[in-house]
Chains A and B, each alone.
Chain A
Amino acid sequence: DQQVKQNSPSLSVQEGRISILNCDYTNSMFDYFLWYKKYPAEGPTFLISISSIKDKNEDGRFTVFLNKSAKHLSLHIVPSQPGDSAVYFCAASIRADMRFGAGTRLTVKP
């Protein structure tokens, strides 16, 4: 059962523009949400997270938005840079049980 879904397998944006990656979840018990970035031949690395008690968290160029009523979160990258090209996974957790989406491949074109 896919409790965390990323419906867009790929996204292409121009350098300097905004990238918006989306994620939906089905389990309302999830209380912590994270985004990971993965380059080829490397393990995923943590990018940014948000607790279910918040609706926005910012870290530099990266902002995560959480809409609990819609069970939806999104990652905004502004401005996008070519080095941001990677696969982005969203994750949701309940205690020590973390579930991931299928990933979205972001390509930022110079």
Chain B
Amino acid sequence: KAGVTQTPRYLIKTRGQQVTLSCSPISGHRSVSWYQQTPGQGLQFLFEYFSETQRNKGNFPGRFSGRQFSNSRSEMNVSTLELGDSALYLCASSESGTPNTGELFFGEGSRLTVL
């Protein structure tokens, strides 16, 4: 089984621009979660999608948005980029989205640098 695939792996943007990151979950997994990793803050939960519906949302501003497609692939978008948005964005998938039955499988992340 192929793992969680995230694209692009690295990207550089300037303040004010917007960015779209893509995540392809493991085949058969219907839940996709997004996390932001920054030094000292660990993994901050952005949102979680299941069957094209956002089920959970973290405490991020509305500039951060996401969606999930019928094939479970997910995208997240950040508009009006700020310097503080520089981070590693991690996508994780799971079969049902119920952690009691198993763990999250993470991709390698998309490293965003905002200049």
Contacts and interface: CB of A to CB of B under 8 A. Distances in A.
Nearest to A103: B42
A98 B45 contact: yes
Contacts of A44: 43, 90, 104, 106
Contact of A1 (B33, B59, B92): B59
Contacts of B66: none
A45 B48 CA distance: 18
Contacts of A93: 99-100
Contacts of A89: 42-43
Interface residues of A, number: 27
A86 interface: no
A96 interface: yes
A99 B103 contact: no
A78 interface: no
Contact of B99 (A9, A32, A103): A32
